[in-house]
């Protein structure tokens, strides 16, 4: 009878440490790599090199690591050792202390070369937490002191690798092969999470749709996101693939995760927009509320010609009277300039130059047909204006009153009824009976560009034939008209 093989017998563990010019993989670079290969209780090889980081090493980093600019001046570039390093690490378990740091830097270096790098990653900080939960500190200095490990040259790659290997073998001997192996297997199956989060963070997260929030120190809200699978999406933030400085900063600052479940994707999207605009998380930029939402209105002047004006107060019950939604006056004027140039309309009547006696500037260039001088027939000019602006006309609300959009999550049994009026999300209910007691009279809800676009897609576009699969429209419950046109005004 043969004994069952274990990961400790069959896997090669590449215990790796790097030294760098700083702590951010987006712009800092690696100056040294050290690796010791361990399999079945024995060291089976090692690999080490200094690297030219192609940037200056600061005096602080020189003093911390002992690696000077002179030492790396003639060292190889990362691209020169990239193939060899990839060969050395192929098929191994990538082991590092605070592995997100080392793994993130290695991936960043390969990404600069247009290459991908991935490996099974084992973090010895998390291994220490798993095996020694009674202790609070798990940095390398704490491990050396606590377990009586031999002193090494700290902040040099092979010195830190020696300390990591000493802990690895000490923990195996003290805890026994079975417990040591189980801890490793569990960690290799779990997504890596930032060190300041509780180890079981991902276990509590729901597998359905909703919104999640990342909080930092002193409960500062860092980031709001949405997903159809909260647990999966949050885990993807912790994959170790740091694509941006922002991702690194969020990971380093993160202390707590909160979430709100929804019954479907539309509810999650609307809640995400609402929370980004009202809670103003530090790292969300896209979807921030526009400070000066602007549209364009058309009205006749004394001579009967249609003239454009910028509208800053959007009245949701009059959306059909507006053309376009813009985040700033400049964006609206840029759109007007494009319409003028394409359709040879009058600069003065479009409000692009002051109203003065005589022809507009474009008339002198032959780009206006003379409406500014009364030379173009009023009906002809107005027809051209209506055609030019037709594609920008906002969609009027197609129902007589509010509606309830029903979303249901079959997996959890949850149901949400999203109450929407004039393309504004005004409430979320969970039972159809609640609709009978719902009163929207006097509620103040701000008309919002992002929600308008989102609800247009959800209610109008999803029923259209996309050329592939015809998407199922959501179930809509029509509610009684409110009656007052100024209800739900911003």
Give strand pairing partners of 318: none
Q: For residue 286, what pLDDT is reported?
A: 65
Q: For residue 1, what pLDDT is reported?
A: 38
Q: Which residues contact 452 (CB under 8 A, 6 or more apart)?
A: 325, 394, 423, 424
Give strand pairing partners of 300: 306
Q: What is the pTM of this model?
A: 0.59
Least confident stretch, 381-390, 415-424, 441-450, 452-461: 441-450
CATH domain 201-279 topology: GIY-YIG endonuclease (3.40.1440)
More confident residue, 265 or 26: 265
Q: For residue 309, what pLDDT is reported?
A: 95
pLDDT tops 90 at residue 445: no
- Is 196 one of the annotated active-site residues of the chain? no
More confident residue, 337 or 24: 337
Nearest 5°: phi and psi at 456? -60, -45
Q: For residue 469, what pLDDT is reported?
A: 37
Mean local confidence (pLDDT), 108-130: 90
Yes or no: domain 7-189 corresponds to CATH 3.90.1150.10: no
Sheet holding 221-227, edge to edge: 221-227, 210-215, 256-261
C-alpha–C-alpha distance, residues 319 and 467, integer Å? 30
pLDDT band of residue 269 (cuts 50, 70, 90) is: very high
pLDDT tops 90 at residue 253: no
pLDDT tens for residues 48-79? 999 999 999 999 999 999 999 999 999 999 99
Nearest 5°: phi and psi at 17? -140, 145
CA 245 to chain centroid: 12
pLDDT tens for residues 201-231? 776 788 899 999 999 999 999 999 999 999 8
pLDDT tops 50 at residue 114: yes
Name the pairing type of β-strands 306-311 and 256-261: unpaired
Mean local confidence (pLDDT), 380-387: 96
Q: For residue 436, what pLDDT is reported?
A: 81
Average confidence score pLDDT of the chain: 87
Q: Which residues contact 228 (CB under 8 A, 6 or more apart)?
A: 208, 209, 265, 268
At 373 the three-state DSSP class reads helix
Q: For residue 241, what pLDDT is reported?
A: 46
Q: For residue 247, what pLDDT is reported?
A: 76
Q: For residue 316, what pLDDT is reported?
A: 86
More confident residue, 65 or 357: 65
Q: Can 7-189 and 201-279 be said to share one CATH topology?
A: no
The domain spans of the chain are 7-189, 201-279, 294-392, 403-478
At 397 the three-state DSSP class reads coil
Q: Would the CA dihedral through 476, 477, 481, 486 be positive or negative?
A: negative
**Residue ranges of E strands in 366-484:** 403-409, 414-421, 424-429, 475-478
Q: For residue 188, what pLDDT is reported?
A: 86
pLDDT tens for residues 166-186? 999 999 999 999 999 999 998
pLDDT band of residue 466 (cuts 50, 70, 90) is: very low
Catalytically annotated residue among 147, 155, 170, 317: 155
Buried b (16+ CB within 10 A) or exposed e, 173-201: eebeeeebbbbbeebeebbbbbbebeeeb
pLDDT tops 90 at residue 197: no
pLDDT band of residue 198 (cuts 50, 70, 90) is: confident
For 235, other C-beta atoms within 10 Å of its C-beta total: 17
pLDDT tens for residues 411-440? 778 899 999 999 999 999 988 888 887 777
DSSP secondary structure code for residue 207 in this structure: S
Least confident stretch, 17-21, 169-173, 258-262, 434-438: 434-438
Q: Which residues contact 81 (CB under 8 A, 6 or more apart)?
A: 33, 49, 51
C-alpha–C-alpha distance, residues 181 and 176, integer Å? 8
Least confident stretch, 108-112, 204-208, 462-466, 477-481: 462-466
What are the C-alpha distances in Å from 268 to residues 250, 322, 457?
A: 21, 28, 15
> Secondary structure of the chain: what % helix, strand, coil (to 5)?
40, 20, 40
């Amino acid at each position: 009878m043969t004994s069952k093989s274990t990961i400790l017998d069959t896997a090669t563990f590449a215990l790796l440490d790097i030294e760098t010019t700083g702590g951010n993989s987006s712009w800092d670079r690696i100056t040294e790599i050290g690796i010791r290969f361990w399999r079945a209780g024995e060291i089976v090889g090692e690999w080490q090199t200094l690297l030219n980081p192609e940037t200056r090493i600061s005096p602080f980093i020189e003093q911390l690591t002992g690696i000077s600019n002179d030492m790396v001046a003639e060292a190889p570039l990362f691209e020169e050792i990239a193939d060899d390093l990839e060969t050395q690490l192929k098929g191994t378990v990538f082991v590092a202390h605070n592995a997100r740091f080392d793994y993130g830097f290695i991936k960043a270096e390969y990404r600069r070369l247009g290459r991908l790098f991935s490996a099974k990653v084992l973090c010895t900080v998390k291994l220490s937490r798993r095996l020694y939960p009674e202790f609070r500190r798990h940095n390398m200095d704490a491990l050396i002191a606590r377990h009586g490990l031999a002193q090494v040259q700290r902040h040099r790659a092979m010195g830190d690798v020696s300390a990591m290997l000493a802990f690895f073998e000490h923990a195996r001997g003290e805890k026994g092969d079975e417990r040591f192996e189980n801890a490793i297997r569990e960690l290799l199956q779990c997504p890596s999470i930032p060190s300041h989060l509780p180890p079981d963070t991902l276990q509590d997260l729901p597998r359905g749709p909703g919104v999640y929030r990342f909080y930092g120190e002193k409960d500062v809200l860092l980031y709001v996101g949405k997903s159809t699978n909260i647990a999966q999406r949050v885990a993807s933030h912790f994959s170790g693939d740091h694509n941006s400085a922002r991702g690194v900063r969020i990971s380093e600052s993160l202390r707590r995760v909160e979430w709100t479940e929804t019954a479907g994707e539309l509810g999650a999207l609307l809640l995400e927009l609402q929370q980004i605009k009202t809670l103003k998380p530090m790292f969300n930029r896209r979807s921030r509320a526009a400070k000066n939402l602007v549209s364009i209105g058309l009205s006749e002047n004394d001579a009967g010609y249609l003239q454009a004006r910028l509208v800053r107060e959007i009245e949701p019950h009059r959306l059909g009277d507006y053309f376009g939604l813009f985040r700033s006056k400049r964006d609206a004027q840029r759109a007007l300039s494009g319409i003028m140039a394409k359709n040879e309309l009058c600069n003065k009547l479009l409000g692009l130059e002051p109203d003065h006696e005589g022809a507009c500037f474009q008339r002198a260039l032959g780009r206006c047909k003379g409406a500014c001088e009364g030379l173009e027939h009023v009906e002809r000019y107005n027809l051209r204006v209506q055609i030019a602006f037709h594609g920008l006309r906002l969609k009027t609300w197609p129902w007589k009153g509010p509606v309830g959009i029903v979303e249901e999550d079959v997996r959890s049994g949850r149901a949400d009824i999203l109450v929407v009026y004039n393309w504004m999300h005004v409430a979320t209910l969970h039972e159809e009976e609640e609709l009978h007691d719902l009163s929207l009279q006097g509620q103040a809800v701000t008309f919002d560009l992002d929600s308008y676009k989102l609800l247009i897609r959800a209610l109008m576009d999803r029923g259209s034939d996309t050329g592939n699969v015809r998407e199922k429209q959501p179930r809509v419950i029509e509610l009684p008209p409110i009656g007052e046109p100024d209800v739900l005004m911003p």
